[in-house]
Structure 1
């Protein structure tokens, strides 16, 4: 028994000692976890790599003393990115200073040249040779400055050299008659070619634009007794198209648009003289060739569409249409303008279809086809016939824009449809069986047709519900306007009182039909429209009919309209029940 008690006491003592050691160990673990947490909070965050668990947690048997913990790092304020200050010295001294003082230098040379000529020192050949020598010196200095990394100064010198050389050739040919016309033209071309080579070699768009402006003036700097219009137009067109291709090749966007626009100025100057039919054919041929070049570029680069290229295609076709109409549209040769529009519609329509099959952007081509048809309809048809045809074309174009999800085509269709509406509005209805009546019916029917098509597209998410509802309101209002004109045409022979009474009755019947149809097809908005038109009828009777009709007619109008209102209200009560 004593031995058993001894064993029991020893067991109890060992258990107590083990319990105390476990409690002490738990306390150390908690302290260690606290220290590790503080250490991790004080360390900076790294985003490159995250250490594993073994690297982050030290051994449990070796706690980190508080005195060797790293001090907490102060939070650094975020560094604000500031734009570097503008280098005004570079902008003024290296860019604008040479541009300004090259003009000052040329003025000084010109005045000195004038003084030497007045003194009789410089003869005519010497003057021209000095000009050519000055141009060569400026070219040499320009190339030297560019080699020394002074690009702005070098390009200014090269541009000034071209100007001095052209002025020297002009003086030798036009003023002193030292060079015949053929040689002057050849020297002009060589000068332009050298300037183009320098612009391409140094990738200078400014020099390219200067060359463009000088190149277009070459035909005006040649003295010719019998100028040939085809030579003039051929040079201007070939030069313009060549410069457009070069500018596009070297990404000179400014020079590209300049080459397009400036061509039309010398052609316009020649067209103002109106020499004859041969002149008109030459001018129109050059404009067509330039447009075909832009059209080809738009098709070849269809996979990388740019808004500038599409705008230029639009402007080019617009200028082509304007040139063809100005040269042939108002004369006896009207078929030229008409056939040009037909060819434009067929060309751009087929191109749009082909680009769509190739999964490329075709919105610009489709819109140009739409406007080609619009201009053809306006030119060929007249009055209500044109209005009806334009309305149908605009509705079809708008539906095509929705079908192909082309914003530009939708805008073109909407503009065309609006123009057709204006044509219809400009010719009000006077007879029941007339072209005006047919045009109004086509207008209302086309709006209802677009509404039905857009309702189908609403389910596909291509059209907003608000757009289709707007078409319903527009169609219902236009239908009311049509019924009003039709009623006035039918009651023209009646008295004034009866005319207003019949018109009010037609409006009331129209409102009732809308409400009934809304009940039948379960469309609350249709019923609401009918109620609104019923109130409009009431306002018409009060403010328009009452002041001019007899008391008997007033009684009939109010009794009829009141009965209609009560009956419609009763219909809504039954609907609610």
Structure 2
């Protein structure tokens, strides 16, 4: 029986023999294929011996050269396409339309053509643009075709505008119908050729149509209905063909048109009716967001922006009851969606965000002014806790924003004048929610523990010191100045002792250092502010007490070390 050492020697010997055999086999293979003993790890076929081997470096040169040349050529072609096929037609169709308008003006100034001929020429020019645009599309010149087709729509609208407003050939009803036909034509071209440029041109022209028609008895409800229907048409078009420019542009143009109408309504007071199209817009944006399978993030951002815009319109035009009804209705809707769509995290987070914002609006609008700050503090803390349970960065940001704004309101709201007051309640809510929130963040967030503990403890200590000072002064406001200073100094001293004791018992470095800092702050207050105003006897008591506390604290630290 072999022992352990002998077995190890035998294994090592066998390994050396195997290595020698591999080396000899390798050398034999090289001799067979190359006639020498040069190492070459892979076998090659006999019929390739006569061919000169291609090194890796030469392969790289052979492969990379055509690719680089191809890349350069493609880059050059892209520039030519962008300049001569895309931007040049767009520039010169604008130049062409301006030339047509100036030609009308010049011909009119020189008396060459009458008004009827001008209108006829405008429609003929539009027809020619449509004809040649379609012809270019059939001949695979899509970029030029889009521009020609797109140029025909505004030219038709301008001709109709001249026929109605400048020359009075048709009334407002006929002009409106004609412009509606041109918009329908633009929508049809957009759908058939799937061109976002055509859609944008038709959309802008469509929004401007009511402003191009003069009427002695304008009907504002027709205007609102028209703009709403037009928006819904282009919104559905943008969703179907993923036209993001039309998606964003239609929302912006609707708000702009309604703002102009609201600002220059004249004797007519639209009241809350002007906000109805905005609410409809918001509802349909929500509908398409719920149904969305793609581009969820972009639709979510638009929906959130629309919420703020819609609330501004509602808050500015609705009565208090109407505002409350609007907020309660959508709070209920988003609560249902938030519960039912938990399986879709991205959408559920957006529903939660809308719910948070709407609840904040509801608190601000309906709750007594004295309780708003405390409720917003509680709501911000609760919303942040929800963002930890169902993670969302935007939800965290909005929750923290609500909480911080409410916290600043507490800080700058005013000094506590009475012991039992709304200000006292606000401060207690701020301190409790801050402590609970810091504990939750320390437990759930991925942040550096020690640094966070230091910062949060320091902020909490400052807030507590401000509250305690204000509360103490409210308690002793009937006493004389010397008594107030004495009591406040003792309160600070007790707070420092309590902080140090808590740090020792719970082994919290932050609490101990905060206690020591507060003790030093008390000494500075006593030395710089209180000495000139307090009697010698009281001064002696304070310094003896403060010195004794400092020595005890030093002894505690020494023993602990």
> What is the TM-score with the length of structure 2 in the denominator?
0.85
* 8 Å Cα contact 2:26/2:39 also seen in 1: no
Structure number with larger C-alpha Rg: 1
SS in 2 for 1:441: helix
SS in 1 for 2:430: helix
Aligned to 1:408: 394
Cα distance, 1:410–1:320 mapped onto 2, change above 3 Å: same
Aligned to 1:436: 423
Cα distance, 1:566–1:344 mapped onto 2, change above 3 Å: same
Give the 5 Å matches for 1:195-206. 195-206=186-197
Aligned to 2:358: 372
Aligned to 2:477: 492
Q: How far did 1:198 drift?
A: 1.2
Cα distance, 1:397–1:37 mapped onto 2, change above 3 Å: farther
Give the 5 Å matches for 1:25-40. 33-34=26-27, 36=29
* 8 Å Cα contact 1:432/1:489 also seen in 2: yes
Consecutive unaligned residues of structure 2, counting only runs of 5 or more, are 1-18
- Structure with bigger helix share is 2
* 8 Å Cα contact 1:384/1:439 also seen in 2: no
Matched, 1:350 2:336: yes
CA separation in 2, counterparts of 1:540 and 1:477?
Answer: 15
Aligned to 1:517: 502
CA separation in 2, counterparts of 1:134 and 1:326?
Answer: 46
Give the 5 Å matches for 1:206-221. 206-221=197-212
CA separation in 2, counterparts of 1:32 and 1:462?
Answer: 58
Aligned to 1:321: 311
Cα distance, 1:310–1:122 mapped onto 2, change above 3 Å: same
SS in 1 for 2:405: helix
Q: How far did 1:451 drift?
A: 3.5
Aligned to 2:464, which of 479, 486, 498? 479
Q: How many residues align?
A: 526
Aligned to 2:247: 256
CA separation in 1, counterparts of 2:21 and 2:313?
Answer: 97
CA separation in 1, counterparts of 2:93 and 2:457?
Answer: 68
CA separation in 2, counterparts of 1:563 and 1:424?
Answer: 36
Q: How far did 1:359 drift?
A: 5.2
CA separation in 2, counterparts of 1:415 and 1:564?
Answer: 41
SS in 2 for 1:361: helix
Give the 5 Å matches for 1:59-458. 73=55, 75-76=57-58, 79=64, 83-84=71-72, 85-87=75-77, 88-273=79-264, 279-301=270-292, 304=294, 306-328=296-318, 333-357=319-343, 361-381=347-367, 383-425=369-411, 426-454=413-441, 457-458=443-444
CA separation in 2, counterparts of 1:412 and 1:29?
Answer: 69
Consecutive unaligned residues of structure 1, counting only runs of 5 or more, are 1-25, 46-50, 59-66
Which stretch of structure 1 is more off in the superposition, 337-346 or 243-252? 337-346
* 8 Å Cα contact 2:272/2:314 also seen in 1: no
SS in 1 for 2:215: coil
Q: How far did 1:551 drift?
A: 4.3
Matched, 1:537 2:522: yes
* 8 Å Cα contact 2:457/2:511 also seen in 1: no
Q: Cα RMSD (Å) of the superposition?
A: 3.1
CA separation in 2, counterparts of 1:463 and 1:248?
Answer: 41
CA separation in 2, counterparts of 1:397 and 1:210?
Answer: 43
CA separation in 2, counterparts of 1:27 and 1:501?
Answer: 95
Q: How far did 1:57 drift?
A: 12
Matched, 1:567 2:544: no
* 8 Å Cα contact 1:131/1:165 also seen in 2: yes
Q: How far did 1:374 drift?
A: 1.4
> What is the TM-score with the length of structure 1 in the denominator?
0.83
